[in-house]
């Protein structure tokens, strides 16, 4: 079997994995009784409705927003299946949660580094170097945050599923049959990981913000917030390029910091976690590689939500 297209992405959730394929999203979650529940839904993107949103730079911002929305929904579903929550979040609750997270991210990764850097003006006069040091402070805050949450036992378990997600995608891209035995030897690190994307955002922001001068603090904060979509768009294009050209020595060298960071955000999974990641990936693959939703029920005794199966039946008619 040849090398397959690199159009699969994913995310670890509570006791499970969400996978995004060419036309579907699927979240597989390990139930408290040991079974696996899979939610499989059609993938509907803004770019399909408005093609101009697929243009370079713009598509990165759109993909980021959509990933956050899909990720929040997958987390809510996984918490409900795993028994951590009684019911899934509503769209309004998801929007409110994302709003709070956005504000916290601005405070932690923009306001705090920008405010801290002003104290260095006693020793550094050049605005270029002040902006550069601010960027380094931002990276230090980010690394500290990732390191701190990695010490939480529940987060470490999510990081194991993150590793299972990467291993499974590696096996798929290598053209291997998706079995636990084939997936297990692969690396937990992947160049298209969201961790790489966030680290690239930090690095590119240093370059972009370095040329903005050193106005008053409120203007500095505002400029960073306003330019963040541009930074995210550039980072998205960079990670797309890296995913396609990882075999080039220079490209690989530039991805190394993000890969090293994944040693914190991923952990070696056990076989049960790999199985969940495999089921999630199989659910988004087109037939004959993928397994239809009804096939899960017959073959593995898994509980599968039927919305998409009904939709497929309607399309076939």
- Is 260 within the bounds of a domain? yes
- Count of Cβ atoms closer than 10 Å to residue 195 Cβ: 20
What domain range includes position 166? Answer: 9-316
- Is 208 within the bounds of a domain? yes
Chain-centroid distance of CA 293 in Å reads 24
- Is 4 within the bounds of a domain? no
- Is 1 within the bounds of a domain? no
- Chain segment 210-233, per-residue pLDDT in tens: 888 888 889 999 999 999 999 999
* pTM score of the predicted model: 0.84
Query: How confident is the model at residue 93, as a pLDDT?
Result: 81
C-alpha span between 149 and 139 (Å, rounded): 16
- Is 44 within the bounds of a domain? yes
Query: How confident is the model at residue 317, as a pLDDT?
Result: 37
Chain-centroid distance of CA 3 in Å reads 23
- Chain segment 117-171, per-residue pLDDT in tens: 888 888 888 888 999 999 999 999 999 999 999 999 999 999 999 999 999 999 9
- Count of Cβ atoms closer than 10 Å to residue 213 Cβ: 13
| Residues present in the chain in total | 317
> Cβ-count burial of 262 within 10 angstroms (0-12 exposed, 13-18 middle, 19+ buried)?
buried
Query: How confident is the model at residue 289, as a pLDDT?
Result: 62
> Cβ-count burial of 135 within 10 angstroms (0-12 exposed, 13-18 middle, 19+ buried)?
buried
Please give the tally of structural domains in the chain. 1
- Is 271 within the bounds of a domain? yes
Instruction: To the nearest 10°, report the CA torsion of 16, 21, 24, 30.
Output: -10
C-alpha span between 178 and 181 (Å, rounded): 8
- Scored b (16 or more CB within 10 A) or e, 150-163 reads eeeeebebbbbbbb
Query: How confident is the model at residue 291, as a pLDDT?
Result: 55
Could you state, in chain order, the average pLDDT of each consecutive group of 10 residues for the chain (317 residues)? Answer: 65 95 91 92 86 88 89 91 76 84 91 89 86 92 92 94 96 92 95 87 90 88 92 90 82 86 94 96 78 40 42 38
- Is 2 within the bounds of a domain? no
C-alpha span between 218 and 97 (Å, rounded): 25
- Is 92 within the bounds of a domain? yes
190, 31 contact by CB (below 8 A):
no
């Amino acid at each position: 079997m040849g090398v397959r297209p690199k159009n699969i992405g994913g995310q670890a959730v509570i006791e499970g994995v969400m996978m995004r394929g060419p036309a579907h999203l699927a979240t597989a979650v390990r139930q408290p009784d040991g079974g696996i529940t899979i939610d499989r839904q059609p993938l509907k993107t803004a770019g399909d409705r408005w093609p101009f949103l697929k243009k370079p730079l713009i598509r990165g911002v759109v993909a980021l927003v959509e990933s956050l929305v899909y990720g929040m929904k997958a987390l809510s579903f996984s918490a409900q299946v795993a028994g951590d929550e009684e019911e899934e979040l509503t769209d309004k609750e998801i929007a409110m949660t994302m709003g709070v997270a956005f504000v916290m991210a601005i405070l932690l990764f923009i306001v705090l580094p920008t405010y801290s850097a002003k104290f260095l003006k006693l020793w550094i006069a050049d605005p270029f170097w002040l902006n550069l040091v601010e960027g380094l402070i931002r990276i230090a805050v980010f690394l500290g945050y990732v390191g701190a949450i990695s010490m939480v036992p529940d987060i470490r378990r999510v990081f194991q599923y993150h590793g299972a997600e990467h291993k499974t995608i590696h096996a798929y891209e290598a053209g291997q049959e998706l079995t636990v035995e084939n997936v297990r030897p692969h690396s937990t690190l992947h160049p298209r990981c969201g961790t790489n994307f966030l680290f690239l955002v930090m690095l590119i922001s240093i370059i972009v913000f370095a040329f903005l001068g050193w106005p008053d603090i409120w203007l500095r904060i505002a400029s960073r917030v306003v330019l963040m979509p541009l930074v995210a768009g550039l980072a998205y294009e960079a990670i797309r390029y890296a995913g396609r050209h990882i075999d080039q020595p220079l490209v690989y060298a530039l991805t190394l910091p993000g890969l090293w960071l994944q040693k914190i955000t991923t952990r070696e999974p056990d076989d049960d976690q790999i199985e969940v990641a495999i089921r999630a990936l199989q659910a988004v693959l087109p037939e004959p590689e993928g397994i239809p939703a009804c096939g899960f029920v017959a073959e593995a005794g898994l509980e599968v939500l039927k919305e998409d199966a009904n939709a497929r039946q309607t399309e076939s008619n």
